[in-house]
Amino acid sequence: MHAQTIPAILRFLKEFVPSSWDIVRKAITHRLVEAYTQPFRYYHTETHILSCLEEAEHVRGLLTSNHVFTMALWYHDVFYIPGSKINEIASADIARLDCCILGLNTSIQERVALLISGKPTKNYYDSLFFHDIDYSILGKEEHLYHSYVQSIALEYLYCKDYAKGRQQFLKGLLSKRNIYLTDYFRDKYEKKARENIKQELAGYFR
């Protein structure tokens, strides 16, 4: 487990959990740690979450609700089975449950769930940043991208037709006018992401 994980979770929970709710704090910390340290995870771990949180720090002033955004980042991969089509929906449901336990109102619950399971939409600008942060790894330096490629392959080791699906996913990204949906992340990562993806398709990261 990453040394920063529990301190980061506790900082996050401090925004939502009264100091007297020690049992709740411990229960939610346990849930998150247990989820992100599952042995079959290689990329979708607490390291990925911490990286997303670091990216979010740079756009805090552009978000409508930092609390909602942070909650969604912590929970967006809390349920994860490689190849499953219900990962986002199940993660959103778990987030809703913990929001309820924390006494957060229905509006917050639904906005958290929408960021996790909904499609990015211009009507909810935070969702565009959420998408871009989750995809930020695509535009990182080659050694980080290479590690990501290897980690994803390990997670999908027993998934049939992974290589074919991966190629379709990458080609789909390249076919888009823009991979990133916000000006900030487009300027920061678009060019490098396209370079990395083209190199992966050419077999450079095998």
Tell me the per-residue pLDDT of 19-28, one tens digit each, with 9 for 90 and over: 778 888 889 9
Residues linked to residue 124 through DSSP beta bridges, in sequence order: 121
* 66/164 same-domain check: no
- Residue of 28, 23, 73, 65 whose CA lies nearest to 46: 73
Buried b (16+ CB within 10 A) or exposed e, 163-174: eeebeeebeeee
Last-in-domain residue among 134, 159, 177: 134
Last-in-domain residue among 134, 158, 181: 134
60: tokens are 């805090």
**What is the average pLDDT value for the chain, to the nearest integer?**
93
Domain span at residue 99 reads 1-134
Query: What value does the mean pLDDT take over residues 136-162?
Result: 95
| pLDDT tens for each residue of 135-146 | 999 999 999 999
Identity (one letter) of the amino acid at 138? L
* 108/53 same-domain check: yes
* 81/13 same-domain check: yes
* 104/18 same-domain check: yes
d(CA 81, CA 77): 9
Instruction: State the DSSP code for 177.
Output: S
* 176/188 same-domain check: yes
| pLDDT tens for each residue of 170-198 | 999 999 999 999 999 999 999 999 999 99
Q: What is the DSSP string of 93-157?
A: HHHHHHHHHTT--HHHHHHHHHHHHSPPBTTBHHHHHHHHHHTGGGGS-HHHHHHHHHHHHHHTT
Region of residue 157 (phi > 0: left; psi between -120 and 50: alpha; otherwise: beta):
alpha
Identity (one letter) of the amino acid at 88? E
* 126/198 same-domain check: no
Percent of the chain with pLDDT over 70: 98
* 9/96 same-domain check: yes
Last-in-domain residue among 134, 159, 182: 134
Number of domains forming the structure of the chain = 2
pLDDT of residue 17: 78
